[in-house]
Amino acid sequence: ASLCFHMSHLIFLIWTSYLFSFFTFLPEFDQTADGRFIMLPQTALCSRGLFVLLLLFFSNYVNALYEDQIKKFDWRIQHIGAIDQAHLELNSLSPRLLVSTHENVFAVLEPQTGKIVWRQVLENLPRGDLKLMQVGTASVNINEPESTAAAPTNSKHGFDVLTVQGHAPALVRGWNVASGNLEWEWSLMPLQTERAESSFWFYKNGILYHVIPTWHSHIEVTPYFATTGRATETTARISAGWINADKCVLSGVYYTCLEGNQLIGIDLTASQPQILRKTLENVSKDKLRAVEGISGAYVIGKRLISIYEASVVCNNYESNSFILGKFQKRRVLAQADV
């Protein structure tokens, strides 16, 4: 097998050998017990120089790897793991792909090359469990005007991306996308840690909502200022005996469950929440899935359905997946069958 030599070490060895060969044969004197100086014999000088040369020769004169050892030893590799959430920013200056992974890594990649721009390795589970990744410029909700997760102008609490991780305590952090630096953070310790394990979060217009469901009973919703953690209102308790952990999904501000041949949902941000119901003609055995970017829109058995009547969806479209995006300031609904 061929070797990959470090030539700098080899050059250093050659120069060292030359210098020692020069200084080895210079006269050297030693002082005796009675104060007289005598010249050392050349054999002593040669043996001393030879010892130093052998020491250098056998210490670390070259570093090498076999071909089959490449990337196994003395190699620096960065990984991010299996992607859980992703957001693509296509701007003319620096397009980037923001991702979170199942291995508790939050990172930014170059879309064209896949190169890691930066990454943040979060805490271990359960503290590092990423529950929400809110991108500041990702407001493409078809039911709302443009909004942003960034703080107002001249505010010291700005951010590009907001993340929520863990549940006891829950850590809320604001990140700078360009550098990967942590701008600020605050934490929340729930009163009942067992119930908080099934909690979830969502963001709307500068407010971060913390939702704790009690299955087959009720929902507790607490709003906080996203950048400071100060509660804006008292906790709202919404009766919802129809909620089930396996049948309910959050889409935007709507929490909806599939019960038999009916969709039952509720707007968690409403001051006076009302239960919304929609009867389905053909019920699929597939689980309810939310459509990213359209509040209250879901996919059931390849069909696109909305619990919110004012939200216009294309009922004739059938696909395995849908997503809402923007192109030239227009909102575009994309579908894919992979």
Is the predicted pLDDT of residue 3 greater than 50, yes or no? no
Q: Do 89 and 60 share a domain, yes or no?
A: no
318 three-state secondary structure: strand
Nearest to 205 by CA among 163, 266, 142, 145: 145
Total structural domains in the chain?
3
Q: Looking at the domain assignment, is residue 314 inside a domain?
A: yes
pLDDT in tens, 274-288: 999 998 887 777 788
Average pLDDT over residues 258-263: 89
Tokens representing 136?
A: 């500041």
Q: Looking at the domain assignment, is residue 333 inside a domain?
A: yes
Q: Looking at the domain assignment, is residue 1 inside a domain?
A: no
Q: Do 165 and 305 share a domain, yes or no?
A: no
Alpha carbon distance 142, 324 (integer Å) = 8
* Chosen domain end from 69, 103, 123: 69
pLDDT in tens, 153-185: 344 445 689 999 998 899 999 998 888 899 999
Alpha carbon distance 299, 306 (integer Å) = 9
* Chosen domain end from 19, 35, 69: 69
Q: Do 190 and 45 share a domain, yes or no?
A: no
Beta carbons within 8 Å of 334's beta carbon, 6+ residues apart: 322, 323, 324, 325
Q: Do 209 and 281 share a domain, yes or no?
A: no
Whether 165 contacts 174, CB under 8 Å: no
Q: Do 109 and 232 share a domain, yes or no?
A: yes
Q: Do 13 and 162 share a domain, yes or no?
A: no
Q: Return the top range by mean pLDDT from 65-74, 134-143, 201-210.
A: 201-210
Give residue 13's pLDDT: 55
How far are the Cα atoms of 152, 178, 278 from residue 308, in angstroms, in the given order?
30, 37, 9
The domain containing residue 57 runs over which residues?
7-69
Q: Looking at the domain assignment, is residue 75 inside a domain?
A: no
Is the predicted pLDDT of residue 150 greater than 90, yes or no? no
Q: Do 178 and 325 share a domain, yes or no?
A: no
Q: Do 138 and 94 share a domain, yes or no?
A: yes
Alpha carbon distance 251, 28 (integer Å) = 87
The H-or-E segment that residue 193 falls in is helix 193-196
Is the predicted pLDDT of residue 307 greater than 70, yes or no? yes
- Between 113 and 20, the higher pLDDT residue: 113
Give residue 175's pLDDT: 92
Give residue 208's pLDDT: 95
Query: Which long-range contacts link 97-103 to residues 24+ away (Cβ below 8 Å)?
Result: 98/133, 98/135, 98/161, 98/177, 100/130, 100/133, 100/163, 103/79
Sheet holding 275-279, edge to edge: 248-251, 254-259, 262-267, 275-279
Give residue 56's pLDDT: 58
10 three-state secondary structure: helix
Question: Strand 321-327 relative to strand 330-336: parallel, antiparallel, unpaired?
Answer: antiparallel
Whether 173 contacts 181, CB under 8 Å: no
Helices (H), 30-98: 42-60
One-letter-per-residue 3-state SS of 281-292: CCCCCCCCEECE
Q: Do 89 and 157 share a domain, yes or no?
A: yes
Whether 186 contacts 194, CB under 8 Å: no
Q: Looking at the domain assignment, is residue 149 inside a domain?
A: yes
pLDDT in tens, 178-217: 888 999 999 999 888 888 889 999 999 999 999 999 999 9
What is residue 273's DSSP assignment?
-
Q: Do 196 and 257 share a domain, yes or no?
A: no
Q: Do 103 and 191 share a domain, yes or no?
A: yes
Q: Do 224 and 316 share a domain, yes or no?
A: no
Q: Looking at the domain assignment, is residue 298 inside a domain?
A: yes
What is residue 104's DSSP assignment?
S
Mean model confidence pLDDT for the chain: 76
Q: Looking at the domain assignment, is residue 157 inside a domain?
A: yes
Q: Looking at the domain assignment, is residue 267 inside a domain?
A: yes
* Chosen domain end from 241, 266, 297: 241
